[in-house]
Structure 1
Amino acid sequence: MRLPFLCVLLLLVGTCARAQQAPPNVLFLLTDDQGIGDLSSSGNDSIRTPNLDRLLRRGVHFERFYVSPVCAPTRASFLSGRYHPRTGAISVTRRRETMDDGVVTLAEHLQEAGYRTGLFGKWHNGATFPYHPAGQGFDEFLGFTLGHFNDYFSGELRNERDEAVPFRGDLTQVLTDSAAHFMLADTSPFFCMLAYQAPHTPVQVADGYWLKVAERGLTDYNTGIYAMVESIDARIGELLEILEAAGRLSNTLVVFASDNGPNGDRYRMGLRGIKGQLDEGGVRVPFTMLLPGNHPANGTTISTPTAHIDLLPTVLELIDLPVPAGLDGVSLLPLLNGGTLEHRFLYGFQQGMTFTGYPGSMRGERLLYIARDSQTHELYDLVADPGQKSNIYYWSGHVGPAMAQRYRTFIAGLQVPEVAPPIDLEAGPGTIRLLAHEGEPSGRTRFSDPNGWANDFFVDVGVDGAYWPVRSREGGRYRVKVRYHLDAGQPLDVHVGAGEETLAFRLPVARTEVVPVADRVPRKEVYPRDWAVREVGVLRVAPGASRITFATPTQTGPETGLWIKAVELTRLDATAE
């Protein structure tokens, strides 16, 4: 049956009206260790970033936007609307990067509102369930949960079930392509977080990008960093073109930011400080929002200080969802609509294995207060002295001491949840990976690097061994697999324990090698290694168990060369009896 022309016209009008009323998509582009000076639009004549420059011009450019000094705390604040100590993510490794599972993330808010949610790239807020991306609101995930990935050109990413997904190619391209596929999979509204690893070290980049930057006379390190930024710039340009060609860009909120200051001493607009520091250069980053449609704020610049804690309330209000009470951040809609915000201070805290509030900072419209410790005070006028050359704390009259007191009052009222939570053995599907840097060395056992960064491993493992804090309510039987290196003259007796239960076994000699990598400069991180893998038996874990231990039954010396990368537990049943 053919419908009359008028009916067809009315149906088409109704379809268009519904399309116009569809909630906007959200694309959050986040780079890693890209400082405020790592853009040609920042006055840096050693880098070429035409696509990012154009995005900053087209959108609303926030020229004084602040984050935390390092990766994981910033990510937790972006997703929660809270200062990072309130989320539990106070550092970058040893489970101190883990965001409390009671935090309701931006992804969870949008997921509940009917959005498809996907994260592609770096998570860094918890490696195991319930802290994994799939436990914090993301329907789809392809990336890595650690502080950095060890090789840009090959390896194993993880998915939403924490299963291994091998890849070969260029990681930056793989993540971009995966995000594009997710966003265009259907026409329903999406929240896509594309969290690049670049330009975080190791310094690896394809020849085409390297050779172009190498002509500019920079150090090899900065050549690699700028080449990595330019590779991101090209991929973001391609991604926005794909969305525009598909008709999705006009109804998409595009947010671009970096997670902290530059990972090295390079151009940063004369600002003091780099990654890991509370000074302007360490925490002031590029940030822009390209608003859907022809919003009048697009193409403007806002100089009001704003921060990562403001993203969640701003996105929720933009798409007409309720903003929860009790956040540290505020919606930036008044600024986007040509108004102002009430005066406030923005607080910052240095990363650490425990939270004390020091070093810390407090920024207003003009003044920056920094407490290097509880007795060392600095105050800067960022309008007259943006490079922080003159500490005016001691000749500012009552202003400096008043700001110091306000800072002390604020940190005294911070409620910090459990830090470095135990690994829940029953919270997620599949195999639980007890990674070395998620555990704790004992006695002579140590990390290969003193800090135990991501991808590190235990060395000199002996009778003192190492352990992983765990939580088990039900108990159960687990098949155990070990990833290790053993440079010894003969096999070595080892045991894995859980409370009173012990699984004893013998590891054969396995001398492993470093995997060849395409690093442009020597790296600071550990190199990837072709670890030996051995299934060693079944371990009973009693309900209430609090540790998984790994040790030798008698003391051994470093000459045995036992290194442990991970212990993997695959659940067989739910009873330990």
Structure 2
Amino acid sequence: MRTTLCCLLVVLLGTCARAQNAPPNVLFILTDDQGIGDLSLHGNDSIRTPNLDRLLTRGVRFERFYVSPVCAPTRAGFLSGRYPPRTGSIYVTRRLETMDDDVVTLAEHLQRAGYRTGLFGKWHNGATFPYHPAAQGFEEFLGFTLGHFNDYFAGELRNEKDEAVPFRGDLTQILTDSAAQFMLSSSTPFFCMLAYQAPHTPVQVADRYWESVKERGLTDYNTGIYAMIEAVDERVGELLTALEAAGKLEHTLVIFASDNGPNGDRFRMGLRGTKGQVDEGGVRVPFGMLLPDHHPANGRVISRPAAHIDLLPTVLDLLGRPIPEALDGVSLLPLLEGGQMDHRFIYGFGQGPRFTGYPGTMRGERYLYVARDSGSHELYDLIDDPGQTQNIYVARGHVGPAMAERYRTKAMEVGAPGLVAPPIDLEAGPTTVQLQAHEGESLGRTRYSEPNGWANDFFVDVGIDGAYWPVLTRRAGRYRVTVEYHLDAPGPQDVIIRPEGGEGLAFQLPIAVTWQQPVADRVPRKEVYPRAWATQEVGVLEVPAGCTRLTLSTPIQAGEETGLWIKEVRLTRLEPIGG
């Protein structure tokens, strides 16, 4: 066991007596991109996950548990009890991962019930207030709001005040230790969400895990992914041991899940599909609940389909709290208690920058309907054909068309075809607001360094058309402007940042040739590499009331490649104009 957990345990042993009638704690452990086959429990002889296996077999394990095909919508489904398109979270970047601020999250429900709430790790449902985790029910936060963190061994996390918290070390260990400190030091019931980034890329892991898995003859990519999962497995084992020794585990509801299918082609129990796809392999994940106080349901395996939207109502029901109306999810408590539930269908929706309802799925206890577009129909018998090898849409007579019609109706009801990503509110949160490149929009020749504009990306060749950030303002205000940039050009570059309806701030950026930072990647990454960006404070900008767009550009376009890259613009509020 790591020294940090040992020290916490020594200090806190003997101080954890609790009243018998206190409500149970809740610990929700969520991994990132860990597929259904990424457990030795599920027949994978290339991976060793004894602690996760033990957690799932000690508790109630759901054999058919479904989430969304990608990270952010799944997290919104878990926390809201609603299908993700209803929350506004339909994609993974460009603010379309954001969950509406009027969604009452599981954390908010438990906070109102007197729970101490904390999130450690990945959020990915909104980077700025009022969408930040601290505005969505988590009173303590240490982690990141982006879709992925760029380096597992160094960087800046954020806290509940959206302040930078530099770190060096193993991110998986740091998140585990932070969650342990939060839980072991709590004298009141807690809700702790421990949201690991692993095994999301980049593929980075300590030598001892890499070397252990490398002996199994896998590709370097899968070696790294399995090594990252085994690192998580060890940390989870340490954490549960510490809670047990402190007398807290038996009075804690422990939930484990992943957010989507595997981020690559590897063992997945013969299921079709991977991350990003609506097929079984892309959305069926490990899920289990270790119920508190020696609940008789522990050890049970449930084959009835369930989904991320069921977590919120189930937890509230287990804790004796009222379940809100108008949820898509249902409480699974009847199944946990050995009873029955009414038949229902579980719907799934593909991800993308625009919600169309396609691709989409509809699952019952036996049949899976898949609509890859509005004109295609597939039907599979998941009992006889879990790998989706035979499309029986025509062969099953009325079953397929009936499911197709029902799916179309649900997609229209749930969908938001006119959904627009929310603007960045300049007044809702802390004094400083980050305008990150991947939350803006490029214009003209300006583009992202990678086509998708994923987390950590940046604008390249910013020119006369520039790039802009949608913003929300109610009052006129003055802001100190700081730019993170790279400039490789013959001389200094004139730049202007202009608020809609107001005067622009013109400034000049000196040449600053930045370099890619060294990383400990085991294989080449798909994401952008981290850089040590130049930082320049450029002046004070007056933003008028009602401004809806901030545009950054150059006065002229000097060829197709200007050499100006923009990572981020920071606005620090000084005071309202006239205030």
**TM-score scaled by length of structure 1:** 0.96
* Letter in structure 2 aligned against 1:473: R
In structure 2, the partner of 1:78 is 78
In structure 2, the partner of 1:568 is 570
In structure 1, the partner of 2:498 is 497
What is the deviation of 1:351?
Answer: 0.2
In structure 2, the partner of 1:544 is 546
In structure 1, the partner of 2:6 is none
Asked if structure 2 preserves the Cα contact closer than 8 Å seen for 1:543 and 1:576, the reply is: no
In structure 2, the partner of 1:355 is 355
CA distance in 2, matches of 1:398, 1:291: 41
CA distance in 2, matches of 1:429, 1:170: 28
- For residues 202-213 of structure 1, what are the structure 2 equivalents within 5 Å? 202-213=202-213
Indicate the SS of the match to 2:550: strand
* Letter in structure 1 aligned against 2:369: Y
1:17 and 1:505, CA in 2 relative to 1: closer, same or farther beyond 3 A? closer
What is the deviation of 1:320?
Answer: 0.7
* Letter in structure 1 aligned against 2:342: E
In structure 2, the partner of 1:12 is none
What is the deviation of 1:395?
Answer: 1.5
CA distance in 1, matches of 2:567, 2:539: 18
In structure 1, the partner of 2:284 is 284
* Letter in structure 2 aligned against 1:509: I
In structure 2, the partner of 1:10 is none
For 1:207-263, what per-residue CA distance to the aligned partner results, in whole angstroms no more than 9, with x for missing partners? 010000000000000000000000000000000001011110010000000000000
Indicate the SS of the match to 2:414: coil
CA distance in 2, matches of 1:356, 1:17: 53
Asked if structure 2 preserves the Cα contact closer than 8 Å seen for 1:488 and 1:559, the reply is: no
Is 2:165 the partner of 1:165? yes
For 1:162-200, what per-residue CA distance to the aligned partner results, in whole angstroms no more than 9, with x for missing partners? 110000000000000000001112210000000000000
- For residues 413-492 of structure 1, what are the structure 2 equivalents within 5 Å? 413-414=413-414, 416=416, 418-492=419-493
In structure 1, the partner of 2:510 is 508
CA distance in 2, matches of 1:188, 1:18: 9
What is the deviation of 1:302?
Answer: 0.3
Asked if structure 2 preserves the Cα contact closer than 8 Å seen for 1:180 and 1:239, the reply is: yes
List, as ranges, runs of 4+ consecutive aligned residues in structure 1 with deviation greater than 4 Å: 15-18
CA distance in 2, matches of 1:332, 1:200: 29
CA distance in 2, matches of 1:79, 1:240: 23
CA distance in 1, matches of 2:39, 2:186: 34
CA distance in 2, matches of 1:167, 1:563: 26
CA distance in 1, matches of 2:126, 2:308: 19
1:17 and 1:29, CA in 2 relative to 1: closer, same or farther beyond 3 A? closer
* Letter in structure 2 aligned against 1:506: Q
Asked if structure 1 preserves the Cα contact closer than 8 Å seen for 2:464 and 2:557, the reply is: yes
Asked if structure 1 preserves the Cα contact closer than 8 Å seen for 2:120 and 2:194, the reply is: yes
- For residues 52-67 of structure 1, what are the structure 2 equivalents within 5 Å? 52-67=52-67
Asked if structure 2 preserves the Cα contact closer than 8 Å seen for 1:117 and 1:190, the reply is: yes
CA distance in 1, matches of 2:412, 2:201: 36
CA distance in 2, matches of 1:17, 1:513: 54
1:415 and 1:360, CA in 2 relative to 1: closer, same or farther beyond 3 A? closer
1:442 and 1:559, CA in 2 relative to 1: closer, same or farther beyond 3 A? closer
In structure 2, the partner of 1:150 is 150
CA distance in 2, matches of 1:329, 1:519: 39
CA distance in 2, matches of 1:283, 1:198: 17
What is the deviation of 1:574?
Answer: 1.7
Unaligned runs of 5+ in 1: 1-14
Indicate the SS of the match to 2:569: strand
For 1:468-487, what per-residue CA distance to the aligned partner results, in whole angstroms no more than 9, with x for missing partners? 00000012000000000000
Is 2:280 the partner of 1:312? no
CA distance in 1, matches of 2:543, 2:234: 50
Asked if structure 1 preserves the Cα contact closer than 8 Å seen for 2:355 and 2:415, the reply is: no
CA distance in 2, matches of 1:451, 1:376: 27
Asked if structure 2 preserves the Cα contact closer than 8 Å seen for 1:488 and 1:560, the reply is: yes
Indicate the SS of the match to 2:298: coil
CA distance in 2, matches of 1:268, 1:131: 34
Asked if structure 2 preserves the Cα contact closer than 8 Å seen for 1:98 and 1:419, the reply is: no
CA distance in 2, matches of 1:451, 1:186: 42
In structure 2, the partner of 1:534 is 536
* Letter in structure 1 aligned against 2:466: G
What is the deviation of 1:558?
Answer: 3.9
- For residues 231-242 of structure 1, what are the structure 2 equivalents within 5 Å? 231-242=231-242
Asked if structure 1 preserves the Cα contact closer than 8 Å seen for 2:440 and 2:469, the reply is: yes
What is the deviation of 1:556?
Answer: 2.3
CA distance in 2, matches of 1:332, 1:474: 47
* Letter in structure 1 aligned against 2:535: V
CA distance in 2, matches of 1:559, 1:404: 49
Asked if structure 2 preserves the Cα contact closer than 8 Å seen for 1:68 and 1:74, the reply is: yes
What is the deviation of 1:17?
Answer: 11
For 1:480-520, what per-residue CA distance to the aligned partner results, in whole angstroms no more than 9, with x for missing partners? 00000000110010001112220000000000000000000
For 1:310-363, what per-residue CA distance to the aligned partner results, in whole angstroms no more than 9, with x for missing partners? 000000011111000000000000000001111000000000101110110000
Asked if structure 2 preserves the Cα contact closer than 8 Å seen for 1:460 and 1:557, the reply is: no
Is 2:527 the partner of 1:525? yes
In structure 2, the partner of 1:555 is 557
What is the deviation of 1:18?
Answer: 6.9
What is the deviation of 1:418?
Answer: 4.7
- For residues 85-484 of structure 1, what are the structure 2 equivalents within 5 Å? 85-414=85-414, 416=416, 418-484=419-485
Asked if structure 1 preserves the Cα contact closer than 8 Å seen for 2:65 and 2:286, the reply is: yes
Percent identical residues: 76
For 1:48-74, what per-residue CA distance to the aligned partner results, in whole angstroms no more than 9, with x for missing partners? 000000001100000100000000000
Which range moves more in the overlay, 405-414 or 89-98?
A: 405-414
